[in-house]
Structure 1
Amino acid sequence: MDFFPISLKLQQQTCLIIGGGKVAYRKAQLLIQAGACVTVIAPDIDAELNKLLQVNHGRYIATTFNEAIEQGLNLTTYRWVITATNDTHINQHVYHCCEALNILVNTVDETQHCRFMVPAIVDRSPLMISIATNGTSPVLARQLRTQLESTIPQSLGKLADFSGKWRKTVKEKITQPEQRRIFWENLYESSFKDNVLNDHLDLAEQHLRNALNEWQIPKGEVYLVGAGPGDPELLTLKALRLMQQADVIVYDRLVSDPILNLCRRDAQKVYVGKARSHHVVPQESINTLLVKYAQQGKRVCRLKGGDPFIFGRGGEEIQELCEAGIKFQVVPGITAASGCSAYAGIPLTHRDYAQSVRFLTGHLKEGSPELPWQELVYENQTLVLYMGLVGLEMICKKLIAHGQRPDMPVALISKGTTPEQKVVVGTLSGISQQVSLHEIQAPTLTIIGEVVKLREQLNWQQLGGSS
């Protein structure tokens, strides 16, 4: 994060603009809308800008910046300065003068001479939404603003204003900040919100009073959420909503950083990652942890890579919750088999090649590598192996020993659906040698079957289908 976004209270504050053209006019409009007292310094001034200053009691100094300084202009009387000229030398000089006095300064279209940025704004006062690209792409910021303008109701500011009038009352009734957050979240998910937006303020007020009178300390709850294979755009809408409202995030090694960044920023984050032969927190302790946080009245998001019910031990965790009487929800995620195979261009089933698919794990509960080998040797079947990278050589030998063709196609998909995705294709007899050759690392999914042949034709990411 190169710039820290803030909202400045500028009512009756003096602000200075260097430059008198159309760009200066647009900046002056924004400042005046925010209640600032604007001064413009420029040898010449745009007629509309001059009229704007006259109507809003602004000030125009008809001279250059250097001459104004020589005539005794005191920069320290201004809260911030915007430079909007076409002269790079003037812009640079103004910037250095402001920097020397610790005055916030923005130079239009010159990020190297900026101490702050002016964002694109969606105004639903008192609700304000700012979109900034830190000067890299203002056109993109404006396009995003246009999209938001069309989707955010004009009346949404009423909800913020109405809530603000009740904030003190709610704070006196519900003294704990975490509980107040839950109260407001529940309220906004009810008919209260629609009543305010539709100007049914009497109904909204009665709804709020009733909610306050009936308020009880909330019981804890656990959300068992599948985070998918890695690409944050594969999250479900429900998963994202629960991630945003959870007080505690308990997450695994396979949850990618971009997904973790979508969780509520102030939520407590607890890492319980597990790798082969190295469990940061044993499964039994994870189960106990979920119960403990929920019994404290917290909303806990148990965030698991892939789908929690497919080799995710989600069943074990909710068994513990059931025994403890803890309320829970389960949100399915896109499992690695579906996500990684799709991103690699390998359909798991195909009318000509595979009429069934079987999910297997190479890391069983008792640590045993034994699988029903005879059942796995079937020509028109796709095998998908989770957590089988370490035992891959042995698994391939076992399948061949039980009758599988040595030239059966195999694909290894490492870190699937992420920017680091790597796919290696080979045969059953030679794929294990490819692991070290191509530096394949966990997490890796193994796909065995004739459908792997289709990757060359259906690899949509290399064909220009990726976004």
Structure 2
Amino acid sequence: MTQDPSKLNAFPVFVRVEERVVVVVGNGDEALAKARLIAQSSAAIRIVADRPEHALADWIAANDVAHIRAPYDASALDSAVLAFAATGDEALDRRISDDARALSIPVNAVDRPECCDFFTPALVNRAPVAVAIGTEGAGPVLAQLIRARIDQMLSPSLGQLATLGNSFRDLAEKLLPRGSVRRRFWNDFFSGAPARAMEVGHADEAREAAAELLLRRTAARGHVALVGAGPGAEDLLTLRAQRLLMQADVIVHDALVPEAVVAMGRRDAERLPVGKRKGCHSKSQQEINALLVELGRQGRQVVRLKSGDPLIFGRAGEEMQALRDAGISYEVVPGVTAAFAAAADFELPLTLRGVTSSMVFTTGHDLKGGTLPDWAKLAISGATVAVYMGRSVAADVAGRLIEVGLSPDTAVAVVENASLSGRRLFHGTLADLPSLEGRGDLSGPVMTIIGDAVAGANFANSEPLTASRRTVTTPGPQGTATERTAA
């Protein structure tokens, strides 16, 4: 069976080691490194080292840990919850691993992944808060680089703040109703006055500020954030969007928003898909408007997650009007729209000095009517045109633009699944664009960019639009000829 590369082979957990035995076997630097790592916990460390090197011997003496100065024997593992084999001797490390597994003790053998039941992470310690970074043994240096970045992000006082929060936990559960009121208290606790006071070392002020927050509890007011999810890649989500997802009680999302983006919200947030793919609408816009208003009236914190940018073909105007009419507070968080992502995939300048200084966003459906829309006139004058959801109307777009004077040789760039790793890029001219309608292999969202600026794109990773329909005749045996479609 083919293994999914997105799945973890080692699932991260936190093992309870308080006053429980953790055994480290070895005489040198690797054993010392593991002992120092475990010493960040409250475990009872037992070191088995018959000839400890000076650094390890000094550390043992300075930290008053249990030391067995004798060759390794399986009895050294008695009552242990974890074991580390760090001898540098392959045969001995394997023996320690086999002994530990026979006793159902998880074991880690340094630099021998096949002998490991677990891997030690790079650790950011803000006890009782801990951040563990693991690479399943594939990149310890990478784990340390990530650790250094996270260490810079987290306040040194975070552990003290968490300890203070724990002292308020029972009282908060007693006084505050479950749900948004309690969640808002904790958000304010960890990001408001208590956190600021603890940051500057004023623990008493932090406690007073927390008590004041608790006494000032009020019924939660509903709020809706219309959030742009971007074109698909989760790392193109804005920091504000990510923060709001983590605070949301409910995530109302469109069908085109990938699961990886929705999953960036809290695990316990309610997720409500509202569909709206071409030809398959799970809810009407009126129903979505009513849902957002109802959730706001319930005091819920809502993220309305829209593909791309909510203000570009996202029908955000209708939702904002419904929320305004109902007196529900809301905000708009912009996102990276598909046109920008497609241009980035092509390294395509949407404006180009001396070529074009304007841009048009359209769905192309306007060209199916009898009246030529204003944007078509702009295209003729040199504007770059970005056509959303344009595969099914590609022939209409090309035909009408050529009919009103745009050159058939005008450059065209097409991207399926812009920004995602599985994106596909095609290039050609306006005359080639109708071939897009016949591409049944394009199942993802398609973005089309038309204009002279497209000629400045990088086509190294793109294929011609006409490649799928070009036929090549090759001579066959005994004078016959064979026709094939060029790929």
Calculate the TM-score normalised by the size of structure 1: 0.89
**What code does the residue aligned with 2:140 have?**
P
| Aligned-pair CA distance for 1:324 | 2.2
For the residue of structure 2 that corresponds to 1:290, the secondary structure is helix
- Give the corresponding residue for 2:376: 376
* Amino acid of the structure 1 residue aligned with 2:447: L
Distance 1:51 1:177, change over 3 A: farther
Deviation for aligned residue 1:14: 1.1
8 Å CA contact 2:181, 2:217 repeated in 1? no
Deviating more after overlay: 79-88 vs 427-436: 427-436
Rounded to whole Å, the distance in 2 between the matches of 1:438 and 1:325 is 46
Q: CA deviation at 1:131?
A: 1.6
The answer (yes or no) to whether the contact 2:81–2:106 under 8 Å persists in 1 is yes
Structure 1 residue 13 corresponds to structure 2 residue 15:
no
Which of residues 110, 134, 137 is equivalent to 2:136?
134
Residues 233, 371 of structure 1: alpha-carbon distance in 2 compared, 3 angstrom cutoff:
farther
Partner of 2:302: 300
Q: Deviations over 1:111-151 (max 9, x none)?
A: 22222221111222222222221211111111222223333
- Name the counterpart of 2:51: 44
Note if contact 1:18-1:83 (Cα within 8 Å) is conserved in structure 2: yes
1:423-434 equivalent positions in 2, closer than 5 A:
423-434=425-436
Pick closer, same or farther for the CA change 1:398–1:373 going to 2, 3 Å: farther
Report the Cα distance in structure 2 between the residues aligned to 1:369 and 1:112, rounded to whole angstroms. Answer: 66
Conserved 8 A contact 1:424-1:434: no
For 1:306, give the aligned amino acid. Answer: G
Measure the CA separation in 2 of the matches of 1:34 and 1:27: 12
Cα 1:8–1:383 change in 2 (3 A) is same
Q: Secondary structure at the match of 2:207?
A: helix
Checking the alignment, whether the CA contact within 8 Å between 1:38 and 1:53 is kept in structure 2 is no
Distance 1:265 1:350 in 2: 44
Alpha carbons 2:252, 2:272 under 8 Å: kept = yes
Identity of aligned residues (%): 33
Q: TM-score, normalised by structure 2?
A: 0.86
Q: How far apart in 2 are the matches of 1:290 and 1:423?
A: 37
Q: What are the Cα deviations for residues 384-410 of structure 1, in whole angstroms up to 9, with x where unaligned? A: 111121111122112222222222221
Within the candidate set 345, 348, 358, 2:347 is matched to: 345
Measure the CA separation in 2 of the matches of 1:131 and 1:74.
29
| Contact 2:180 2:220 (C-alpha < 8 Å) held by counterparts | no
Is 1:59 aligned with 2:66?
yes
Question: CA offsets, 1:316-337, max 9 Å, x none?
Answer: 1122222222211111112222
Give the letter aligned to residue 46 of structure 1.
E
SS in 2 for 1:82: strand
**Amino acid of the residue matched to residue 36 of structure 2?**
Q
Question: Where does residue 258 of structure 1 map in the other structure?
Answer: 260
Deviation at 1:156, TM superposition (A): 2.4
Residue 107 of structure 2 aligns with an amino acid whose one-letter code is: V
Maintained 8 Å contact 1:17/1:40: yes
1:363 shift after superposition: 4.8
Structure 1 residue 207: Cα displacement: 2.3
Q: For the structure 1 residues 247 and 2, does the alpha-carbon distance in structure 2 shift closer, same or farther, using more than 3 Å as the test?
A: farther
Going from structure 1 to structure 2, the CA distance change for 1:389 and 1:40 (only over 3 Å counts) comes to same
Gaps of 5+ in 1: 462-467
Say whether residues 1:22 and 2:24 are aligned partners: no
State whether residues 347 and 451 of structure 1, in contact with CA within 8 Å, keep that contact through their aligned partners in structure 2: yes
State the alpha-carbon separation in 2 of the partners of residues 87 and 370 from structure 1: 82
Q: Which amino acid aligns with 1:227?
A: A
CA offsets 1:221-251 (integer angstroms, 9 cap, x no match): 1110011112333322211211121111111
C-alpha separation in 2, matches of 1:12 and 1:213: 38
Tell me how far apart the structure 1 counterparts of residues 44 and 209 of structure 2 sit (CA, whole Å): 41
User: Hey, what's the Cα distance between the residues in 2 that align with 1:371 and 1:274?
Assistant: 27
Change (3 A) 1:453 1:55: closer
Alpha-carbon shift at residue 302 of structure 1 (Å): 0.7
Is the Cα–Cα contact under 8 Å of residues 417 and 423 in structure 2 kept in the other structure? yes
Alpha carbons 1:414, 1:421 under 8 Å: kept:
yes
Query: 2:391 aligns to what SS in structure 1?
Result: coil
Distance in structure 1 (CA, Å) of the matches to 2:141 and 2:308? 36
How far has the Cα of 1:56 moved from its partner?
4.1
Residues 1:286 and 1:155: Cα distance change in structure 2 (over 3 Å): same
> Conserved in 1, the CA contact under 8 Å of 2:392 and 2:437?
no
Q: CA RMSD in A?
A: 2.6
Displacement of 1:350: 1.9
Q: How many residues align?
A: 454
Q: Unpaired runs of 5+ in structure 2?
A: 1-7, 463-487
